[in-house]
């Protein structure tokens, strides 16, 4: 039986618990596709799962393959799936427990979303989890629309870079937080007022009367965010650190966005990229062999967009 390389861990721990292992190639069952993965992105959930921080909510079976999202080419299909999909370029968000840091992955066919020829695999791999998270928060939960004033925390990160653009595209006025290093970059993405978390003036002294705060950080950032909202405004959270819901006290609502591998939404995101309304931001592309470094960089928490692993070289180097 042919085998493939997958990046796995057999215990919780530091990035060094990851290793490249030869494993049996997966086979698509009925309703599934096999994807030859060209690129996979690194998300904070990858290192949090590996470090054992999510054991209570997301227990894993060892050996566990790292990674949640990526892009590649459909290599085979299971019974009941249209064979015309073979050879199609796609991106995907895999279900929990199905690792994307692997030369091949098997998924329900519905989760493989077509990408245009001119979108590189590395850019496409940057979209699924970060894009679906930004969309779930701003569009599905907060229903951001024209004229609304929105604060995007962590605007320089994987989620934030897409969230700023999505909010702007929907006609909102966008404020943002990030480090000084990333201020100019976040303004270029469409944020007006940018408050730096490493400056003396805290964001709550600069901003007020906002309709929506996107909080992917929790903890202290969450606690301080109530003060910048108007009455009946909304904080929409991505589950990062724990937070205390003080919505009733401040007269605002607090929602946690449900991030699902929704292929219809991912297709919307890809369509916006295809028409130039949304730009994936890839800070660095690392060779597959740099999987330990990729986790370490993500864990440092000061990204400028996404880190992507190139799993295999395309015959067209621009892709
Ligand atoms: N399903 C879910 O609930 C879900 C889904 C997606 C993401 N998340 C969570 O959302 C968070 C962000 O994800 P991501 O993919 O965007 O991470 P990321 O790409 O690693 O970006 C993190 C960003 O946080 C910024 N940052 C760090 N400390 C900050 C502070 N005090 N104030 C403002 N910004 C700060 C950094 O900006 P600087 O470099 O400028 O400091 C960095 O760009 C993670 O905790 C992740 O686990 C949850």
Give helix 128-135 / helix 158-169 axis angle, nearest 10°: 50
Domain CATH code at residue 172 = 3.40.50.720
Among 266, 264, 257, 251, which residue's Cα sits nearest to residue 239?
257
pLDDT tens by residue, 67-77 = 999 999 999 99
Q: Is 170 in the pocket of ligand 1 (CB under 6 A)?
A: no
Taking the model in full, what pTM does it have? 0.97
- 106 in the same domain as 194: no
Calculated CA dihedral for residues 184, 190, 196, 201, nearest 10 degrees:
120
Among 261, 260, 277, which residue's Cα sits nearest to residue 269?
277
Q: Is the pLDDT of residue 316 over 70?
A: no
Centroid of ligand 1 to alpha carbon of 27 (angstroms): 35
Contact 124, 140 (CB under 8 A): no
Q: Is 68 in the pocket of ligand 1 (CB under 6 A)?
A: no
- 91 in the same domain as 43: yes
- 136 in the same domain as 202: yes
Among 118, 116, 92, which residue's Cα sits nearest to residue 38?
92
263 within a domain of the structure (yes/no): no
User: Of the residues 67, 157, 202, which should be mutated to test ligand 1's pocket, given the most ligand atoms within 8 Å of the CB?
Assistant: 157
User: Of the residues 216, 282, 294, which should be mutated to test ligand 1's pocket, given the most ligand atoms within 8 Å of the CB?
Assistant: 216
Question: Which atom of ligand 1 is the closest one to the Cα of 161?
Answer: 16
Centroid of ligand 1 to alpha carbon of 10 (angstroms): 26
- 189 in the same domain as 110: no
Q: pLDDT value at position 244?
A: 86
Helix H, strand E, coil C: the string for the chain is CCEEEEEEECCCCCHHHCEEEEEECCCCCCCEEEEEEEEEECCHHHHHHHHCCCCCCCCCCCCEECCCEEEEEEEEECCCCCHHHCCCEEEEECCCCCCCCECEEEEEHHHCEECCCCCCHHHHHCCHHHHHHHHHHHHHHCCCCCCCEEEECCCCCHHHHHHHHHHHHCCCEEEEEECHHHHHHHHHHCCCCEEECCCCCCHHHHCCCEEEEEECCCHHHHHHHHHHEEEEEEEEECCCCCCCCCHHHHCCEEEECCCCCCHHHHHHHHHHHHCCCCCCCEEEEEEHHHHHHHHHHHHHCCCCCEEEEECCCCCCCCC
- 144 in the same domain as 113: no
* Residue nearest (by alpha carbon) to ligand 1 atom 32: 197
* Residue nearest (by alpha carbon) to ligand 1 atom 48: 238
227 within a domain of the structure (yes/no): yes
List the single range of 38-47, 154-163, 233-242 with lowest mean pLDDT: 233-242
pLDDT tens by residue, 38-87 = 999 999 999 999 999 999 888 899 999 999 999 999 999 999 999 999 99
196 within a domain of the structure (yes/no): yes
Q: Is the pLDDT of residue 209 over 70?
A: yes
Place of tokens 């799962």: 49
Token output for 150: 């929105």
% of the chain at pLDDT higher than 70:
97
Centroid of ligand 1 to alpha carbon of 244 (angstroms): 19
Determine the Cα–Cα distance for residues 147 and 173; give it in Å rounded to an integer: 6
Instruction: Give the burial class of 299: count Cβ atoms within 10 A of its Cβ; 0-12 exposed, 13-18 middle, 19 or more buried.
Output: middle
Q: pLDDT value at position 2?
A: 81
200: confidence class by pLDDT, cuts 50, 70, 90: confident
Centroid of ligand 1 to alpha carbon of 318 (angstroms): 29
Q: Is 294 in the pocket of ligand 1 (CB under 6 A)?
A: no
Domain that holds residue 140: 130-256
User: For the chain, how many structural domains are there in total?
Assistant: 2
Q: Is 301 in the pocket of ligand 1 (CB under 6 A)?
A: yes
319 within a domain of the structure (yes/no): no
Centroid of ligand 1 to alpha carbon of 31 (angstroms): 35
Q: Which residues pair with 93 in a beta bridge?
A: 69
- 172 in the same domain as 94: no
Centroid of ligand 1 to alpha carbon of 291 (angstroms): 20
Determine the Cα–Cα distance for residues 259 and 308; give it in Å rounded to an integer: 20
- 7 in the same domain as 115: yes
Centroid of ligand 1 to alpha carbon of 85 (angstroms): 35
Q: Is the pLDDT of residue 134 over 90?
A: yes
Q: Is 305 in the pocket of ligand 1 (CB under 6 A)?
A: no
Q: Is 259 in the pocket of ligand 1 (CB under 6 A)?
A: yes
- 82 in the same domain as 50: yes
Question: Which atom of ligand 1 is the closest one to the Cα of 216?
Answer: 10
239: confidence class by pLDDT, cuts 50, 70, 90: confident
Mean pLDDT of 288-313: 96
């Amino acid at each position: 039986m042919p085998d493939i390389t997958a990046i796995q861990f057999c215990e919780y721990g530091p990035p060094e618990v990851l290793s490249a292992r030869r494993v049996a190639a997966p086979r698509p069952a009925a309703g599934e596709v096999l994807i030859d993965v060209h690129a996979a992105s690194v998300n904070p959930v990858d290192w949090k799962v590996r470090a054992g921080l999510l054991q209570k909510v997301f227990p894993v079976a060892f050996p566990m393959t790292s990674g949640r999202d990526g892009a590649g080419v459909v290599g085979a299909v299971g019974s009941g799936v249209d064979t015309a999909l073979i050879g199609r370029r796609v991106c995907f968000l895999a279900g929990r427990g199905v690792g994307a840091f692997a030369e091949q992955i098997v998924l329900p066919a519905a989760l493989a979303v077509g990408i245009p020829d001119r979108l590189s695999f590395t850019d496409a791999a940057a979209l699924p989890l970060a894009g679906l998270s930004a969309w779930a928060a701003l569009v599905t939960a907060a229903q951001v629309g024209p004229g609304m004033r929105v604060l995007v925390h962590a605007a320089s990160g994987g989620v934030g870079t897409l969230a700023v653009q999505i909010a702007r595209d929907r006609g909102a006025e966008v404020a943002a937080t990030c480090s000084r290093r990333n201020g100019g970059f976040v303004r270029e993405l469409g944020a007006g007022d940018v408050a730096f978390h490493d400056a003396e003036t805290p964001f709550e002294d600069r901003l007020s009367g906002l309709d929506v705060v996107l909080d992917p950080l929790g903890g202290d950032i969450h606690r301080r965010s109530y003060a910048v909202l108007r009455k009946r405004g909304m904080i929409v959270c991505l589950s990062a650190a724990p937070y205390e819901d003080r919505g009733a006290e401040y007269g605002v609502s607090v929602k946690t966005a449900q991030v699902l591998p929704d292929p219809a939404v991912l297709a919307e995101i890809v369509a916006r990229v295809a028409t130039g309304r949304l730009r994936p931001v890839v800070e660095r592309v690392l060779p597959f062999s740099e999987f330990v470094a990729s986790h370490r960089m993500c864990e440092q928490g000061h990204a400028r967009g996404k880190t992507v692993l190139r799993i295999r070289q395309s015959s067209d180097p621009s892709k």
